[in-house]
A and B are shown apart, each in its own frame.
Chain A
């Protein structure tokens, strides 16, 4: 399952990377804010794009469960399973 989610998530993240961060820098361990330098408002955009792409709803208090790429994948998997 996560094999399908990972490339899709990577694609969602890419447009929000700062110019000086290479898209190749995205890895499962990447922390969106500290490693990829994504600012907090773009984090919101990523969450909204993830909601649309996977047709899930992420609650306001779940933003901190999307700190890393792998944590985000787990949250998406969990949401998809609960659907």
Chain B
């Protein structure tokens, strides 16, 4: 499976796709990036006169790259199609925020798998800004179930 195929298999689209590209992937590791374009609607209201990317959106971006994209790769040989027969759900995240992310900033998400067993994927995920500073880091878990199980 190519890195572009992983992005194509993500079950999100504009305005809720927060993955531009996957740049590294292996059985226990994934790296991807996303640029928060200033045209995003949420900047109008978060905050008034002071646009900052909402923390929940950062978490979503980390989840889409660090959990869902990695899961799509790990389940590449299974019948795992999140657009038709399969399911994904976030179940847990313990995250800490360190830096704000402003409009037009590019972030990189790095995820290191802890385990993927009994459909539960748990990973250590961090988000870095262009200065390579950690913006947010945490431990994320989700359930990923192929359609035929």
Chain A residues within CB distance 8 Å of chain B: 39-41, 43-44, 47-48, 60, 63
Residues of A within 8 A of B92 (CB): 41
Count contacts between A and B, CB distance < 8 Å. 19
Chain B residues with Cβ below 8 Å from A39 are: 91
Asked if B143 is at the interface (CB within 8 A of a chain A CB), the reply is yes
One digit per residue, 1 when the CB lies within 8 angstroms of any chain A CB and 0 when it does not, for chain B 117-143 equals 111100000000000000000000101
What residues of chain B lie closer than 8 Å to A44, measured between beta carbons?
117-120
Write 19 A-B pairs (CB below 8 A) sorted by A numbering: A39-B91, A40-B143, A41-B91, A41-B92, A41-B120, A41-B141, A41-B143, A43-B118, A44-B117, A44-B118, A44-B119, A44-B120, A47-B117, A47-B118, A48-B115, A48-B117, A60-B117, A60-B118, A63-B118
Which residues of A are found within 8 Å of B143, using beta-carbon distances? Answer: 40-41
**Which residues of B sit under 8 angstroms from A47, Cβ to Cβ?**
117-118
Chain A nearest Cβ from B78, distance in angstroms: 13
CB distance from A48 to the nearest CB of B (A): 7
Number of B interface residues in the complex (CB < 8 A): 9
A44 to B114, CA, bound (A): 13
Seen from chain B, the residues whose Cβ lies within 8 Å of a Cβ on chain A are 91-92, 115, 117-120, 141, 143
Chain B residues touching A, majority SS:
strand
Secondary structure type dominating chain A contacts: helix
What CA separation (Å) do A39 and B120 show in the bound complex?
Answer: 12
Q: Which residue of B lies closest to A41 (CB)?
A: B91
Question: Closest Cβ of chain A: how far from B148's Cβ, in Å?
Answer: 14
CA distance A63 to B118 in the complex (A): 8
Contacts of B118 in A (CB 8 A): 43-44, 47, 60, 63
**Given A44-B117, A48-B117, 4 further pairs, Cβ under 8 A:** A39-B91, A41-B141, A44-B120, A60-B117
